Structure 1
Amino acid sequence: LTLPPVYSSTLDAGKLASVRRVVSAGDHCRVEDARRLARTADYYNSYGPTETSVCVTHYKVDPERAYGSRIPIGRPITGTSIYLLDERLHPVPEGVAGEICVGGAGLARGYLQRDGLTAEKFVPSPFAPGERLYLTGDLGVWLPDGNLEVIGRRDNQVKIRGYRVELGEIESVLEQHPTVGETAVIVREDDFGNKRLAAYVTAAETIDVEDLKTHLRARLPEFMIPPSFAVLERMPLTANGKIDRKALAAIVENAQTSEAAVLPQTPTQQTLARIWEEVLGVPRVGIHDNLFDLGGDSILIIQIVSRAREAGLKLAPNQLFDHQTIAELADVAVSAQPAEAAEAEQLAIEGPADLAPMQAWFFVQGFADPHHFNQSVCLEVPAGEFDAEAADGATRAVLAHHDALRLTFTERDGQWTAAYAPAGTESAFDIVDLSGVPADQQNAAVRAAVDRAQTGFDLAVGPLLTVRLLRLGDGQPSRLLFVAHHLAVDGVSWRILLGDFSTAYAQIARGDEVRLPAKTTSFRAWTARLAEAAPGVAAGYWLAPVSAALLPTDLPRADGANTVASAREVTRTLDADTTAALLQDVPRAYTTEINDVLLAGLVMAFREWTGSAELLIDLEGHGRDELVDYVDTSRTAGWFTSQFPVLLRTGDDAAPGAVLKSIKEQLRGVPQRGAGFGVLRYVSRDGATIARLETRPAPEVLFNYFGQAGRVLAPELQWALAGPVGGDISPRAVRPHLLEINGMVDDGRLTITWTFSEAFHLRGTIESLAARYETALRRLVDQCRTLTTPEYTPSDFPAAGLDQKSLDALVAKLNR
């Protein structure tokens, strides 16, 4: 008896006593149907496209064997050869999926009057001169016992949320559910262009969709769980008895689905979803969508926490690392009652304060002109749209509200101390009218005005913020320049400061009283808590011996030559598609974060340049929450940054995926995301530990990823960025690193800026290194696109105690 598998479930084995052999072919058979029929007759699961004269493999089913989700199709019959090949027609190893290609005497000559299709599907055999292969389009794997298993169709592979998904894999697992009859999984596209899986099942009895999802989650990764299910009385079939998938797509709107189950249900979930959509810039967020899959990073997490507090929800940044979906996060979010704001100091802070780790680091460096070490932002103001009175009032409001901007620093006997000055009456806002300067001299006049703003701070007096309007006249847009000393701000602070300036400016312009959001934990309280926590910070990781070779240089090294004046830049920008893949696809594929991806590519590039498998590098983090619990700094300005050295190794395997997994594990091994180093080195009073840390080799490379620029600035600001103005740091200052690599995503494209000293390196050398880095990042993207399942590392399963080799073996076994 030969029949399509779809009819196997309808056969009554008790009425087939005279049947000695059953052969099914044409589609995959259900495991339980095959085992049931094999108990009363020889059951053969066969395989063979029409183009190969029907069957080319056979497999006899053992009714006592516990198969997985599929029945093998066996081995080639006599006169037939079977190959599993990759896209280049190279054989794939055992256990790796490849396209089933058939050779032998049974091949058809081709398609009647379709020469193009014939040439595409029937190709010369690379293994037997003069013979041909038929490319079936089916995907299969060789099993350890030498049998072949079909796992789906090449054209049935789809990409969902960056992963390659084999629809047949989901269908096979669904069929293992005891109440499920037939299954089909297709891909549907919503109004926003997002692709989502939709599953269809038949069942002899009432079936719970959530029960089906639980069944799948026990066997498949989350990205393979369809958000939409439909329970049908029967499957639509084509004329030859196969499931009609086009018909399924047409009837989906009338089916019973559970799509709403993935959308926000509770008020808390709805609030979080709205915040994620705004901050991450995605059109719709489901409650099971992963924060980092959507492009989240540590900088954006701070913004999410701040927005959540404004919406009445209290979260800590580390909670978003531990609970990466809205469904999980909503369970730990608590209501932020107005009374809780009173826990933070709402009045202006005055008096002495502890130095933060980076502030102490700054003074240890002994920079020339320490008053000239700033950060700046310049906005373009359309002509005729500026209210000087509102800008002056907004500047005063920001200075009064953000205490760190009123910090002062004094030196006595080589020791620097900090104190908060009271809010003064003098304004830090000024207008520089350049409208009368001749056009050919205006650029020089702007440069001079910027230099005066950059060099005008007095650390002993303060304040450490100045705002200048550069009025250019003749209908030209003006420039609104914000300059703050780095001792008072970090990258996260600018979103807060510019947002509050914008809010206060608009309120004053309307004639309203200035009302800024309540303060969060003060910078002074945070530094005090760090000092208290210092004795408990574990030092073992940081005291481990480290040795690293110096970077190669094009010119002889000379002390004091690496000045800011000698600094030059090389900038490269990736295209939007590659950037999106780096932000979302690669982190999803390797269950990791964007910083790990960027650093893996960096280590690969440096290995090509230096020939060394090791790179000693300084990294930076936002530093706001790693060591101090029960604080909320989401609306606090200050220099919270953590900077810490890490020795990264590529290992023996230089393949992109292996390097990424290795770098990910090394970074996961850094305690408290590196924040402990600065505390031990600059805040701790343990003289022995400080002395040992001082002897560590200093990294010559600094890497910093600033996140997505378009989402860091407050959305209420309507004035566009005018670009960098330069001159932030004194040209006489000696740079702490030979190479500084800064990354930022702007307008959907990743820009990497390499800063080097022309006293040590030629521009061509750095341009070549930057090109190597770009190539390495593209290799990581290409590698992730070959994966059909996520790649895991031991840190994904910390309780299991596995090393990478053991984990890889376990995952391979589970995937068979």
Structure 2
Amino acid sequence: MTERSFVNTALLGRCYRSGDYVRELPDGALEYAGRRDDQIKIRGFRVEPAEIEIALRQQPGVVRALVLAPKGRDGRRLYAYVEGKTATETLRKQIGELLAGHMVPSRLVVVPEFPVTENGKIDRSRLTEAARRRPEIGELVVPAAPIECQMAAIWCEALDLDSVGVHDNFFDLGGDSMLALAVARRSAMLVNKPGLAPKLLSCITIAKAAEALTGADEYPEVSIDEEEADCPATFGQQGLWALQHLDIANPALVLPFVIRFKGDIALEAIADAIRQLLRHHDTFSLAVRLVEGRIRLCQAEPPIINVEKQVIAEVDLRAFLAGLATKSANSLIRLREVPIEIHLLSTSGNDGVALFMFHHIAVDGSSLPLIVSELVRALEGRPLEGGERAVRSFARWQQACFERSIWNSHKAYWDSQLGSLPDALTLPIDRPRPSRRSGRGMQVEQVLSARSTATVHRLARANSTTPFRVLLGLIGLLAHRLSGQGDVIVATPVSSRHQPSALDAAIGYFVNFLPIRFEFNEALTFSLLMQQVQEKVTAAQVHADFPIELMIRGLETDVAQSLTRLVVAQKLFTGLPQRAGAIELQEIELPRRAAIYELAIFVAETARDITLAWEFDSDLFDSSSIERFQGILDVLLNSAEESPSCPVGRLDLMMPAERAELLDSIDFSIHGTAAHGNLIGLFDEQASANPVAIAVTDSGEV
């Protein structure tokens, strides 16, 4: 027993932290739900393998089940091993109806009997060997040419297989569309050819993929001179700099991030870990400035750590942090020096708290879990990761691609999509749109019901797509129905960290926006809409290296900003809580009162439900209007499942409460007809009064 395993509580006194998870039943009893140390993360979601094993054991023909999560280059993947007699595809379909999409194993291995060790335990190593064997999908044709061998190595690593053939179908081997995109990009980087990625997505075999290499343009090799301090800013940073200076008083681009260090640790130890972080990553020593008419990255001193002298009472902590955050945001929007402020303070409970204020031009949302990981390494005395000159390397790489016309094929695609822009999206607003946005905003959270969450997963499976893409299509449909516009643009952000590969653990701003253009017509069904989503999002991701900033640079300001009136993004997880030895790092969330865009919807999928955080411009929308949009989206979701072949323009979008209110407001009584009492009597009366009048015509016939 160690001291950190005990905790003092106001209700129960001194308690032992067992690490068990329980759920409270309606009768007050506690049901064991697994252990904290058994949980794993899959694509940012906490997953309990035991829960998947229970679902597997409930299926016919299954005797025992074991779920493992080996870690590969592209993250952890769930592997399920089943003892019994059952068809793999049947079993996958059965558990797919019970579990959330991210909990369905990417590989199912059915064996007659689990192998065991001499001690009678399941021999996991032999099971793992069975999972890595190539499926029996036809004759194995071994790769021969050097490029085929290189491609096969990428496929084997991504699919976790011991061998693949040059004529094997990628999807028959266990691949999916998301993994195919990762493999395409990694293959492009392997041979340094950007033109490969678009072609590879349509090449389902290594043989065809190898042919697609011919004639592709090479990406430039970029090296940074150690003596070179300044360089052009990245195209994304240039866009943010221009946006901030158009709305110089708008604090929405400033991101607060608060970490509580719970345990016996001195503030100086926390400060030392933060200083290591600041020294290691170049984004913390770069200022974005206008130099001779060009926006450049300039070497600057890292931010100092402001240590607050007073100890803050727990009851006052959030209010104190909110006040600090507001004051800091108003300073950072000037972009004079490195746009970062750090405040460190102690609480009455002897915890350390660090308030990081980041302007997005220096740090994007994907950097937050990397910052947490780096702080954990520093506290534990381990070396930090990530390139020390990552931001400047990325900026130089982008500039070289632009100057050498490497992106011509990508530009041609975006020209075809955005060459003639549709009218700006006009959602129903509560107040006139001001000439300049203030940045004031609010958030309204929508937790989908268990029924609606299950519907999203069923639609994803039925259309061979992801829950996020289902919701992206539904939100585009919602915008179409609310605005009446047949041409709708929904923007979604993507990370550019795959270019170059050294950016995997880099901290900075590496974001590009993909405007997805939806086209609606009277014949478009929901099934066809899902096909459109798949095609357009996949194509946009293939061409995501091209900075969208270059497309909108020549547009009028209001036209350029109209591309991001509606933004849909996957919510990024901060990676907290985490432990660094005896210290636990926890996040303190501050209420957000700002909105970067007019309307942004952040989608978060957990093991239990799907949550949509609607962040909106409070100068335009009331929260009641956003809540109405949420209700309509839920109605559209269920209508889409009930009638996938119905034209989307006819799908029901009236909420039950609105329908009831409308029906209650209509007076269905017929006055002055007591003598007849029914429709037939009224018809006879009208015919007697007008005996020669035409009653009905059909195609010109009386």
Corresponding residue number in structure 2 for 1:808: none
Task: Give distance in 1, aligned partners of 2:579 and 2:175.
Answer: 23
What's the TM-score, normalizing by structure 1? 0.50
Matched, 1:620 2:493: yes
One-letter amino acid of the counterpart of residue 557, structure 1 = P
Cα distance, 1:197 vs structure 2: 9.2
Radius of gyration: which is bigger? 1
Task: Give distance in 2, aligned partners of 1:779 and 1:188.
Answer: 39
Matched, 1:410 2:289: yes
Cα distance, 1:568 vs structure 2: 2.5
Cα distance, 1:779 vs structure 2: 5.5
Residue 706 (structure 1) aligned to one of 566, 570, 576: 570
Task: Give distance in 2, aligned partners of 1:669 and 1:320.
Answer: 7
One-letter amino acid of the counterpart of residue 623, structure 1 = S
Task: Give distance in 1, aligned partners of 2:130 and 2:520.
Answer: 39
Decide whether aligned partners of structure 1 residues 465 and 561 sit closer, same or farther in structure 2, where only a CA change above 3 A counts.
closer
Matched, 1:742 2:606: no
Matched, 1:429 2:305: yes
Residue 511 (structure 2) aligned to one of 641, 649, 672: 641
One-letter amino acid of the counterpart of residue 589, structure 2 = G
Residue 490 (structure 1) aligned to one of 357, 364, 371: 364
SS at match of 2:420: coil
Residue 399 (structure 2) aligned to one of 531, 535, 540: 531
Gaps of 5+ in 1: 1-159, 162-166, 168-184, 202-208, 210-221, 232-252, 275-285, 306-313, 333-342, 508-513, 684-689, 730-734, 785-816
Corresponding residue number in structure 2 for 1:14: none
Instruction: Note the alpha carbon deviations across 1:413-445, whole angstroms, 9 max, x for none.
Output: 765332133x65xx63233244366x8766543
Residue 632 (structure 2) aligned to one of 772, 794, 806: 772
Does structure 2 conserve the Cα–Cα contact (< 8 Å) formed by 1:562 and 1:760? no
Corresponding residue number in structure 2 for 1:228: 110
What's the TM-score, normalizing by structure 2? 0.58
Instruction: Note the alpha carbon deviations across 1:360-411, whole angstroms, 9 max, x for none.
Output: 11122212147883222212333x5332222111111111111012111223
- Equivalent runs, 1:490-529 vs 2, <5 Å: 490-507=364-381, 515-517=383-385, 519=387, 522-529=390-397
Instruction: Note the alpha carbon deviations across 1:275-295, whole angstroms, 9 max, x for none.
Output: xxxxxxxxxxx99554678xx
- Equivalent runs, 1:768-807 vs 2, <5 Å: 768-778=628-638
Instruction: Note the alpha carbon deviations across 1:135-158, whole angstroms, 9 max, x for none.
Output: xxxxxxxxxxxxxxxxxxxxxxxx
Counting matched residue pairs gives 493
Instruction: Note the alpha carbon deviations across 1:299-331, whole angstroms, 9 max, x for none.
Output: xx79x99xxxxxxxx9x9x9999799xx99xx9
- Equivalent runs, 1:120-519 vs 2, <5 Å: 186=61, 190-192=65-67, 227-228=109-110, 262-264=130-132, 289-290=174-175, 351-365=229-243, 366-369=246-249, 373-382=253-262, 384-411=263-290, 415-421=294-300, 428-435=304-311, 444-457=319-332, 462-473=337-348, 475=349, 477-507=351-381, 515-517=383-385, 519=387
Task: Give distance in 2, aligned partners of 1:515 and 1:320.
Answer: 37
Cα distance, 1:190 vs structure 2: 1.0
Task: Give distance in 1, aligned partners of 2:536 and 2:224.
Answer: 41
Task: Give distance in 1, aligned partners of 2:619 and 2:252.
Answer: 22
Cα distance, 1:499 vs structure 2: 0.9
Does structure 1 conserve the Cα–Cα contact (< 8 Å) formed by 2:422 and 2:488? no
Task: Give distance in 2, aligned partners of 1:594 and 1:224.
Answer: 16
Cα distance, 1:229 vs structure 2: 6.1
Root mean square deviation of aligned Cα:
5.2
Task: Give distance in 1, aligned partners of 2:435 and 2:271.
Answer: 41
Does structure 1 conserve the Cα–Cα contact (< 8 Å) formed by 2:578 and 2:586? no
Task: Give distance in 1, aligned partners of 2:267 and 2:86.
Answer: 64
Decide whether aligned partners of structure 1 residues 563 and 418 sit closer, same or farther in structure 2, where only a CA change above 3 A counts.
same
Task: Give distance in 1, aligned partners of 2:198 and 2:256.
Answer: 30
SS at match of 2:629: helix
Corresponding residue number in structure 2 for 1:560: 435
Task: Give distance in 2, aligned partners of 1:574 and 1:447.
Answer: 29
Does structure 2 conserve the Cα–Cα contact (< 8 Å) formed by 1:551 and 1:700? no
Does structure 2 conserve the Cα–Cα contact (< 8 Å) formed by 1:710 and 1:746? no
Task: Give distance in 2, aligned partners of 1:374 and 1:745.
Answer: 25
Cα distance, 1:486 vs structure 2: 0.9
Does structure 2 conserve the Cα–Cα contact (< 8 Å) formed by 1:408 and 1:420? yes
- Equivalent runs, 1:621-770 vs 2, <5 Å: 621-625=494-498, 628=499, 631-653=501-523, 655-670=525-540, 672-678=542-548, 680-681=550-551, 690=554, 698-699=562-563, 701-707=565-571, 709=573, 718-726=584-592, 737-745=597-605, 748-770=608-630
Does structure 1 conserve the Cα–Cα contact (< 8 Å) formed by 2:267 and 2:345? no
Does structure 1 conserve the Cα–Cα contact (< 8 Å) formed by 2:264 and 2:351? no
Does structure 2 conserve the Cα–Cα contact (< 8 Å) formed by 1:381 and 1:719? yes
Does structure 2 conserve the Cα–Cα contact (< 8 Å) formed by 1:378 and 1:725? no
SS at match of 2:264: coil
Does structure 2 conserve the Cα–Cα contact (< 8 Å) formed by 1:622 and 1:641? yes
Instruction: Note the alpha carbon deviations across 1:583-613, whole angstroms, 9 max, x for none.
Output: x654444233444222112123223323344
SS at match of 1:190: strand
Cα distance, 1:491 vs structure 2: 1.6
Corresponding residue number in structure 1 for 2:445: 571
Does structure 1 conserve the Cα–Cα contact (< 8 Å) formed by 2:371 and 2:507? yes
Corresponding residue number in structure 2 for 1:127: none
Task: Give distance in 1, aligned partners of 2:309 and 2:383.
Answer: 30
Gaps of 5+ in 2: 1-51, 54-58, 69-79, 89-103, 114-120, 135-152, 161-170, 187-191, 211-220, 645-702
